[in-house]
């Protein structure tokens, strides 16, 4: 997930101290949780959908401190 530089991010249930950002090689600012970049899965249509975890052995849901979420 990307944000505008200087933008504010509020993630329900996530400690604000765990939320950060990095600059990607394409110049966009990427949200991180616990130092891990956060992405949206195109197969999820609404909040709470978890269709992406495990796809290609690469994508995993993120927990509130950046760890891999377990179901």
Residue 62 DSSP one-character state: B
What pTM was computed for the model? 0.70
Contact at 8 Å (CB) between 56 and 62?
Answer: no
Average pLDDT value over all residues in the chain? 82
41 lies in a domain? yes
38 lies in a domain? yes
64 lies in a domain? no
Tokens 């609404």 -> residue: 46
Closest CA to 54 of 46, 64, 45, 43: 43
- 67 or 54: which carries more pLDDT confidence? 67
pLDDT in tens, 3-26: 888 878 888 888 888 899 999 999
39 lies in a domain? yes
21 lies in a domain? yes
pLDDT of residue 45: 84
70 lies in a domain? no
- 28 or 69: which carries more pLDDT confidence? 28
**Res. 71: pLDDT tops 90:** no
Domain that holds residue 49: 2-57
42 lies in a domain? yes
44 lies in a domain? yes
Based on the structure, what is the number of domains in the chain?
A: 1
């Amino acid at each position: 997930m990307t944000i505008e530089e200087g933008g504010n991010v509020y993630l329900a249930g996530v400690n604000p101290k765990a939320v950060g950002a990095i600059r990607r090689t394409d110049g966009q600012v990427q949200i991180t949780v616990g130092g891990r970049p956060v992405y949206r899965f195109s197969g999820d249509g609404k909040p709470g959908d978890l269709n992406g975890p495990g796809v290609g052995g690469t994508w995993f849901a993120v927990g509130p401190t950046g760890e891999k979420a377990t179901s």
